[in-house]
Amino acid sequence: MIELNNISKWYAVGGNRNYVLRDVKFSVREGEFVSIMGPSGSGKSTLLHILGLIDEPSEGYHYFMGEAVHLLKEKQRSNLAKANIGFVFQAYHLIDELNVYENIETPLIYHNVKGSERKAMVADMLDRFQIVGKKDLFPSQLSGGQQQLVGIARSLIASPRLLLADEPTGNLNSRQGEEIMELFRKLNSQDGVTIIQVTHSEKNATYGKRVIHLLDGKIEKETQE
Amino acid sequence: MLKNYFKVAIRNLWKSKGFSLLNILGLAIGLATCMLILIYVRNDLSFDRYNKNFARIYRVDADIIFGGSHLVLAAGPDPLGPTLKRDYPGVEQYVRFHDRGGLMVKRGDENISENRVIYADSTLFEVFSLPMIEGNPSTALVAPHTVVITESMARKYFNSVHALGKTMIFNGSDLYRVTGVIRDIPDQSHFHFDFFLPMSQDDQSRRNFWLGGNFNTYILLRPGTDPATVASHFEEMVNRYAGPQVQQAIHSSLAELKAKGNNFGYSLMPLGRIHLYSNKVGEFEPNGSIEFVYIFSVIALFILLIACVNFMNLSTARSSLRSREVGIRKVLGSLRKALIFQFLTESILVAAASLVLAVGIAFLMMPYFNQLSRRHLRLGLFTDPWTIPGLLLLMVLVGGVAGSYPAFYLSGFRPIQVLKGKLAAGFRRSNLRNTLVVFQFFISIVLIIGTIVIDSQMDYIRHKKLGFNRDHVLIINNCYPLNDNARAFKAEVLQMSGVQDATMTGFLPTGGNRNDNSFFKSSSLDQNGAIQMQTWTIDEDYIPTLGIGISAGRNFSRQFHTDSTGVILNQAAVKLLGWSDPVNKKLYTLKQFGSQELIAYHVVGVIRDFNFNSLRKEVTPMGLFLGNNNGNLAIRINTNDISGLIGRVEHQWKIMAPGQPFSYEFMDDDFNKIYQAEERTGKIFVSFAIFAILIACLGLFGLTVYAAQLRIKEISIRKTLGASVSSILSLLSMDFLKLILIAFLVASPVAWWAMNKWLQGFAYRIGLSWWIFLSAGILAIMIALLTVSVQVIRVAATNPVNALRSE
């Protein structure tokens, strides 16, 4: 599904290159659950953003769903991401001005899904996550765990093949975090969604079947369960 | 999708109520002011358009240079109109107006003074579109002793518009039959008469005297006639008709006169230009001026621009708060196009809200504005088919212009940067925003300088030494009805306590009669020694009553019998005549135009120049002649019991002129009237300038709020390090002060240029001194500082921990 070949990312600082990622090379098959670990500044988030097609590597080859991403134009890339990728953020990133229902609905609007269909799909999703009662509340009225639940519901509404999660439990207490991780496991095993998560926590990393350890922009080691 | 955008837009507006209010209010005030100005300007531009033949009507104006005077008249001689129609097929019809003063109209037992009276040719209704309610337009003004009145006059004198065939009594005993009742003349007309009398009754209209200029002559051209062709015949016409009369009058041919720099010509003034472009001698009413139409239009545009700039600045400044939304939407799959569309929707929504508010504000301000401008303007929301589409267009335009920059700016955010928490990179570094702030203050400072200059000039005019003392002078109007009692009345008034002096004359510096004539240095009527000057008939008390200074010779005196052929010149006349020792020199004039008989006047004295025209004009040559003119009685008073004195004067009037209306004025009021139009436009300018500055301040206030918000962390750190409130204030203010300083440097020369141009219109004017510019600069800085510090002090005074903890 994903193949990264010698991906590097640097920023020019003065006359020097400041590497964030250096010769990263790995691949992910459909249906995998991968965790990326590493200390602060090791390049985890950048790698995730590159995987999510919202950031571009400075060099290297990147294949996603059979497409050579490094050759695509901005708009094509954007469409590819829109169709296949869902994002979950540490800070949830819900739109404050929209309520739960509307937040979940938004990606469908950008997918040009018809109003009646949207209604059915959102209702379905609310049901599945058991948040029907909260559909009219605004993000500020929810707890962190609930917000993240909405964030995940929103990321799944367009049925992506790949779910990218950037420290999804980082702002949650341990009990909420566990619930979210259990949800991820279920999504992966029952629904077959490919998941790549970035995490700090050893415990959460174990939910993944593969763990990629990053250090200073390089893959230090890879462990498999 | 649109629904989603609207929802977000409305919730966003609601969430930041302060910001939205600032934005909507600023834009609404701007739009409202702009609307008022546009209505005013449109009103000014639509004068006389009620005439169906608007585009084909022209006034024939005279342009005469003679004896050192240049006369530009809104009128011509009596044969002009009939001759044009007879000789030139392109002229379909003509109508002449002759202003012969007001009337006393009898209602019951009282005589009411009416001034809106005019003699007009019976062709009036063929040229001008004055719809007749009753009567036959083609015959109404044919027979003598008939009158056409307006409907409000019909109501006033007959309590009904049905006045056809009724009789009116003018000037005590003259009977007139009403042969027509017309609708009131629209506000937007360059003349407003209530009584039209037939020209057939005016003997002057048949004199065939080409050297006069008392008839305002309008011609209606046939469709398709080029006015330039008609005008090209004027010279030939002058030569054919006026030439022989000139020869006869002053024994000199037109060609000789012209060779000596004199001129005798006519020109066509299109009806549509009279109100805004014509300011000639003999206009019916003071006209508007295109200058102010331009000035106001520019101010309207400026105010709208300032309001739009506010909107742009506030929106982009607030971008940090929206950037996260942009990032999320992009990650969720939104294209840039969709985001631009979303933000434009929002700004048009704000524009729509502002527009609704603006209509309300304009509606509330309209009465005040009408009071200020002396107009009867209406919003005309539903009466004028252009208003609503115009407003909608304005809304989309303002929303689009104001929203375009924020839309492109915000939609251009890169999602990862935003989501990583790197907010909109540079609030302070935005050059465009800085430029816009400079632009706003540039306009504000220009307007402040304009305000100060206009105000100072008006003040200068009000307090200028005019060469006569206009304070404490009571004027009794229209003393003609006193007839033979005039002298006795004056003597009685002089006896009253509180009266210091009194003079009986119609010629007053603040208005009233004007008359001029040609004089010659030699009895051979040599053109080289000719002078055209004002000839005023006064009595011997005139000079002391008005406190006019004598620079040589003496005042008139009844003891010198030869003073009846004496003249007192003003210094301007002496200068033009080129005399170093004028006293006892002689001036000659024709006893009557057309006759050969001369009158010689000897110079009795010279008075210091006093202003009897608008201060826009230099003092022109003048000669004072001793005689009897009962136009007005001007009384210099020295009492505080003014109403008591007026009561006694009125009592005396009723004895000596029974049944005649008594009215009075004060000379300084009369003087102020001359500048009323000027003052009005000045006041309108000042009010609009204040609005513009207010809107700019609203914007600045909003910007500071967000500047402070973005720098709150910096401020907090500085505070924990021990910075004082004042040092933080100066830190934040400095950014804006720099911009205002730049605006000031750009604005000063521009304002200097513009105001210098405006002042050129005044013969007597203030100088543009440096303090005007300095105080405008200081004022702008003060206003800005005040606006900024309100917010900054609040931020600076907050507990730094609050800000730092959230990190």
pLDDT tens, position by position, A37-61: 988 888 888 899 899 888 889 999 9
Residue B431 CA, chain-centre distance (Å), reads: 41
CA distance B783 to B352: 30
For chain B, percent of residues with pLDDT exceeding 90: 30
pLDDT in tens, B655-686: 988 877 788 888 888 777 777 777 777 888 88
3 state SS of B580: coil
Question: Do B330 and A54 count as a contact with CB atoms less than 8 A apart?
Answer: yes
**Where in chain A are the domains?**
2-224
pLDDT at B84: 94
- Tell me, what's the ipTM? 0.77
CA distance B174 to B171: 6
pLDDT in tens, B257-270: 887 778 888 999 99
Picking from B11, B324, B332, the nearest residue to A106 by CB comes out as B332
Phi and psi angles of residue B411, each rounded to the nearest 5 degrees, phi first:
-70, -10
Phi and psi angles of residue B551, each rounded to the nearest 5 degrees, phi first:
-100, -20
Written as six digits, the tokens of A160 are 């992506």
Task: Work out the average pLDDT over B302-307.
Answer: 86
Partners of A94 on chain B (C-beta within 8 Å) are 328
Of A111-125, B319-333, B344-358, B455-469, the poorest mean pLDDT is in B319-333
Chain position carrying tokens 């012969």: B100
**Where in chain B are the domains?**
2-43+289-460+678-805, 101-201, 473-674
Question: Do A95 and B8 count as a contact with CB atoms less than 8 A apart?
Answer: yes
Nearest residue of A to residue B12, measured between CA atoms: A97
CA distance A204 to B99: 102
Nearest residue of A to residue B2, measured between CA atoms: A109
Q: How far is A122 from chain B (nearest CA, A)?
A: 15
Q: pLDDT confidence of B320, banded at 50, 70, 90?
A: low
Partner B contacted by A52 (CB < 8 A): yes
Listed residue (B111, B128, B104) closest to B216, CA to CA:
B128
pLDDT at B1 over 70: no
pLDDT at A147: 92
CA distance B303 to B439: 12
Question: Which of B10, B332, B337, B807 to mutate: most A Cβ within 10 Å?
Answer: B332
pLDDT at B55: 93
Neighbouring residues of B769: CB distance < 8 A, sequence distance ≥ 6: none
pLDDT at B425 over 60: no
* One-letter amino acid for residue B554 of the chain: R
3 state SS of A50: helix
Task: Work out the average pLDDT over B636-644.
Answer: 88
Burial class (CB in 10 A: 0-12, 13-18, 19+), B428: exposed
Nearest residue of A to residue B11, measured between CA atoms: A97
Of B315-329, B627-641, B727-741, the poorest mean pLDDT is in B315-329
Q: Whole-prediction pTM value?
A: 0.73
* One-letter amino acid for residue A73 of the chain: K
Question: Which of A9, A97, A101 to mutate: most B Cβ within 10 Å?
Answer: A97
pLDDT at B419: 66
Question: Which of A74, A106, A150 to mutate: most B Cβ within 10 Å?
Answer: A106
Partner B contacted by A102 (CB < 8 A): yes
Partners of B15 on chain A (C-beta within 8 Å) are 96-97
Question: Do B325 and A154 count as a contact with CB atoms less than 8 A apart?
Answer: no
For chain A, percent of residues with pLDDT exceeding 70: 100
pLDDT in tens, B272-288: 999 988 888 788 887 88
Q: Please, which residues 20-39 of chain B have a Cβ atom closer than 8 Å to chain A?
A: none
DSSP 8-state symbol, B311:
H
Question: Do B324 and A93 count as a contact with CB atoms less than 8 A apart?
Answer: yes
pLDDT at B806: 43
Across chain A, the runs of DSSP E, i.e. the strands, are: 2-13, 16-28, 33-37, 59-64, 67-68, 85-88, 162-166, 194-199, 210-215, 218-224
For domain A2-224, give the CATH superfamily: P-loop containing nucleotide triphosphate hydrolases (3.40.50.300)
Nearest residue of A to residue B420, measured between CA atoms: A45
The H or E element spanning position B67 is: none
For residues B108 and B156, the answer to whether their CB atoms sit within 8 Å is no
> Is A116 or B732 the better-scoring residue by pLDDT?
A116
pLDDT at B340: 87
Neighbouring residues of A164: CB distance < 8 A, sequence distance ≥ 6: A48, A51, A52, A85, A86, A87, A88, A195, A196, A197
pLDDT at B744: 92
pLDDT at B429 over 70: no
CA distance A209 to A217: 22
Residue B556 exposure: Cα atoms within 13 Å on the Cβ side: 26
Listed residue (B223, B190, B189, B275) closest to B56, CA to CA:
B223
3 state SS of A22: strand
pLDDT at B69 over 70: no
CA distance B21 to B224: 56
pLDDT in tens, B480-508: 888 888 889 999 999 998 899 999 988 88
Q: Which residues of chain A have pLDDT under 70?
A: 225
Read out DSSP for B38-56? Answer: HHHHHHHHTTTTTSTTGGG
Most distant CA pair in chain A, distance? 56
Nearest residue of A to residue B334, measured between CA atoms: A110
Q: pLDDT confidence of B428, banded at 50, 70, 90?
A: very low
Q: pLDDT confidence of B335, banded at 50, 70, 90?
A: confident
Q: How far is B761 from chain A (nearest CA, A)?
A: 58
Partner B contacted by A89 (CB < 8 A): yes
Average pLDDT, whole number, for chain B? 85
The H or E element spanning position B679 is: helix B676-710
Residue A3 CA, chain-centre distance (Å), reads: 16
CA distance B353 to B9: 12
Neighbouring residues of B452: CB distance < 8 A, sequence distance ≥ 6: B772, B775, B776
Task: Work out the average pLDDT over B737-743.
Answer: 89
For chain B, percent of residues with pLDDT exceeding 70: 94
pLDDT in tens, B534-593: 889 999 999 999 999 999 999 998 888 888 889 999 999 999 888 888 999 999 887 765
Q: How far is B408 from chain A (nearest CA, A)?
A: 17
Listed residue (B385, B366, B363) closest to B377, CA to CA:
B366
pLDDT in tens, B98-148: 988 778 888 888 888 888 999 999 999 999 999 999 999 999 999 999 999
Picking from A81, A89, A110, the nearest residue to B419 by CB comes out as A89
Task: Work out the average pLDDT over B384-410.
Answer: 82
Partners of B416 on chain A (C-beta within 8 Å) are 49, 54-55
Task: Work out the average pLDDT over B316-325.
Answer: 72
> Beta partners for A162?
A85, A194
Residue A116 exposure: Cα atoms within 13 Å on the Cβ side: 0
Written as six digits, the tokens of B770 are 């440096």
What is the sign of the dihedral through the CA atoms of B777, B783, B401 and B447? negative
